[in-house]
Each structure stands twice: as structure tokens, then as C-alpha cells.
Amino acid sequence: MEDWALIRRLVADGVPQRQVARDLGIGRATVARALASDRQPKYERPVVPTSFTPFEPAVRQLLATTPDMPATVIAERVGWTGSITWFRDNVRQLRPEHRPADPSDRLIWLPGDAAQCDLWFPPKKIRLEDGSKTLLPVMVITAAHSRFMVAKMIPTRHTADLLLAMWLLLQLLGRVPRRLIWDNESGIGRGKRHAEGVGAFTGALATTLIRLKPYDPESKGVVERRNGYFETSFMPGRDFTSPADFDAQFTDWLTIANARVVRTIKARPIDRLDADRAAMLPLPPVPPAVGWINRVRLGRDYYVRVDSNDYSVDPAVIGRFVDVTADLARVQVRHEGRLVAAHERVWARGQVVTDPAHVAAAKALREQLQLPRPAPGHHDELARDLADYDRAFGLITGGLTDGEEVA
């Protein structure tokens, strides 16, 4: 390839072909062929029949009707008995020719129209309250028009935590986009139905939540690319002592990232945010009901469960119904509106959180229950004097007064 370009350049500069052949150590016929060809030479291996060639027409026929048929099923249908790896390689080359075209349009995001939501899993484990380390999800919301990003680490992918995080991030954004775009996250919904509570949440915000169909990455590409950006620009060289430490570092970094020029829009997200927000919906006057909400009858062990953890409650309300609520930071229990337990929410799993005051109260109630009960007292004022009977029968002097009877 290099000789072909050099030969043509030397001859174009006026060097005789004989001298070119002598200087480059090649034959004059090679020089002549290089000058006659207007394309760079390349090695092309001639096509020769292989063991797959007799089966190719049948394979193409099956792919024409069912492009996604597995290679193992095709091999069985056509009677292939050779190497399955070799068969798979050949089917892989033929399959794209029979798949229908799936074009994707260039998307234009109008101000206030949409925000893309996604879960990003930072590739570093976070230390929790019990000393264990685990990978935790981070909810990311990116305004599609301005590319402005907000994010929050959450303990689980449960619907309650997803809605809590969405509400917190929308408050940071200050407005509500007209569409919230998600993929098929199980906590948001599956198939044709939203998860329980999602419809009420979007109704309170007066917005629309759209869950994308499978194999449609382009419709959520804005936030997907940001996830890759986080891993290459935020994560390297960082350590985190807790989820709160991660949020603090990430929030500070997002302030810097939102002030950088985005290549695709040739502007800084912070500069386009005002126009984006101006076209969004206002925050609702009444906050949506989000978080963990449950109503249970308190058992004898005076603990309630939130996610996978147990939290103690004032044992004075054992046997009564209590209302359990929890957000990302706090767990509260109320009986008829009165607060009977308040704990910091634990993100570790399988933990038991106990208030010493509840243990002391349970001990006092147990000791009181074990005290001996006094015998029933005698009610002497209800007993009749026996002398009244003696006087009634004349055994002693002094009868009953008129109108008095023996009971």
C-alpha cells in the first residue's frame, strides 16, 4: 500500500519508471500495475465452499421468517452435525441481513418538555451503619433541554424510595417537567401498568410518566451518557465513608459539571436552566404522599418493620393500631396522631433498632403485670344485721318498725 502511493508520487514528480523500479527494488511490471490502478491494492481471499455452504439456503429461509431464532434451534432444524461454534459464527454474519430496519430519529428537546430519569450504580461499595459495604443506586434526573443534572443516593430500588428521591430532586430543580421519562425499572412499572403509587404521584404533580419500550436506548440517551460521564470524571480517585459523604461530594461536583459546556448543545446547562424551568410546571401546592406508609397492630414485641429492618415502639400501645411512615432519613410511628416512636432510618439490612426508653417502659409494664393481685374486698355495708331476724320472730324484745320487712 505504501509502495503504491510512493510509486505514483515519484512518477508524478517526473522520475522515470525504470529508475523508480531500481530505487525501490521492485520490478518494472509492478510499477506499471501501480500506475494503471486508481485504487490502493488490497488482499482479497477468494471465496471457497465450506461445510456451512450447503446449509446456507435453508438457514436464510428460516432467518427470513424468524430473524431472532437462536442458532441452536436453526442447527437442529437444518440438520447440522458439525461444530456449533462454527455454525453460530456463520449465522451471526447472516442475521443482520434479515432483520428489519429500525431507524432512530434525531430528537429535539423543547424547553420544559421532558426530564430523563435513571438509576446509576457507582462502581464502588459504600460503607453502611453496621460496617458492611454494598453497591447503592443513585437516582439521576437530567433536564433534556438544558442538560441540567440533579442526583441523590438511595437505599433501595423499592417504589417508595424511588418516589421519595424523585420528589426531593424535583424540589431541587424547582419545577416539574411536563414528562418524566423512565425505562422499564421494576419499581416504576412493568408491562402496561405502573407500580402502585406511581399514578397517584404523577397525578399530584400534574405531569406524565412515560416508560420506554425495550430496545429503545436513544429515547433516554441523554441521561445514559451522563452515567458514563460520572464514572470517568467523578469516580476516579474518590473514597466515601457513608451515603451522606457520597451525596456531599457528588453535589459539589455536579455544581462544577453543570457549569461546563456540553458539546452537543454548545452551551452550559446552568445557562439554559432558566429557559427550561420557565416552560415547566410549578411544584404542587400540596406535596404528594410519598415514602413508606403502613398501618399495623402493634404486637407484643413492640417492633415494626420498614423494608428489612425492625424499629422499636412505645410498648404502651401494644395491641393498638399504629401508623408507620418513613422517608430516606427518618422512621416515625404514631398512634391516633401521637408520636410513639422516632428513629433514624438504617440503610443496612436485617438490623434491629431499639430505643432504650422503650425497653425500660416494657420492663416496667412486665413487672407491673407480674405483681400479685389483691383479693376481692368484703362489702359489709350490704350485709343484714342478724338481730333484725330475731326481732322479727319475737325472739328478742323490740320488733320491726311499721313498714320494715326482713330482706
Expressed in angstroms, the distance from the first to the final Cα of the chain is: 134
Q: Which residues of 172-189 are buried (b: 16+ CB within 10 A; e: fewer)?
A: ebebbbbbbbbbebebbb
Q: Is the pLDDT of residue 145 over 90?
A: yes
Query: What's the farthest any 2 CA atoms get from each other in the chain?
Result: 170
5 vs 354, more confident: 354
The dihedral sign for the CA sequence 178, 183, 187, 189? positive
Lowest average pLDDT, out of 5-14, 126-135, 246-255, 273-282, goes to 5-14
Q: Are strands 114-120 and 179-182 parallel, antiparallel or unpaired?
A: parallel
Instruction: Report pLDDT for 314.
Output: 96
Q: Are residues 367 and 315 in contact, defined by beta-carbon separation less than 8 angstroms?
A: no
Instruction: Report pLDDT for 13.
Output: 85
Instruction: Report pLDDT for 184.
Output: 85
Q: Is the pLDDT of residue 391 over 50?
A: yes
Lowest average pLDDT, out of 74-78, 95-99, 116-120, 293-297, goes to 95-99
Helix axes 28-36, 2-12, angle to 10 degrees: 90
Task: Provide the 10 A C-beta neighbour count for residue 91.
Answer: 23
Instruction: Report pLDDT for 105.
Output: 64
Share of the chain above pLDDT 90, in %: 67
Instruction: Report pLDDT for 251.
Output: 96
Q: Is the pLDDT of residue 406 over 50?
A: no
Q: Are strands 179-182 and 133-134 parallel, antiparallel or unpaired?
A: unpaired
Q: Is the pLDDT of residue 41 over 90?
A: no
Lowest average pLDDT, out of 4-18, 122-136, 191-205, 295-309, goes to 4-18
> Which amino acid, one-letter code, is at 324?
V
Q: Does domain 114-278 have CATH number 1.10.3720.10?
A: no
Rounded CA-CA distance 23/19 in Å is: 6
In three-state secondary structure terms, 279 is: coil
pLDDT band at 103 (very low <50, low <70, confident <90, very high): low
Instruction: Report pLDDT for 380.
Output: 53
Q: Is the pLDDT of residue 381 over 60?
A: no
Instruction: Report pLDDT for 29.
Output: 86
Phi, psi of 294 (to 5 degrees): -155, 150
Rounded CA-CA distance 214/245 in Å is: 35
User: Could you state, in order of their start, the residue ranges of all structural domains in the chain?
Assistant: 2-36, 63-98, 114-278, 292-370
pLDDT band at 18 (very low <50, low <70, confident <90, very high): confident
258 vs 386, more confident: 258
Q: Is the pLDDT of residue 325 over 50?
A: yes
Q: Which long-range contacts (CB under 8 A, 24 or more apart) does 70-79 make?
A: 79/55
47 vs 239, more confident: 239
> What average pLDDT is seen over the chain?
88
Determine what percent of the chain falls in helix, strand and coil, rounding each to the nearest 5.
40, 20, 45
Lowest average pLDDT, out of 23-32, 282-291, 349-358, 389-398, goes to 389-398
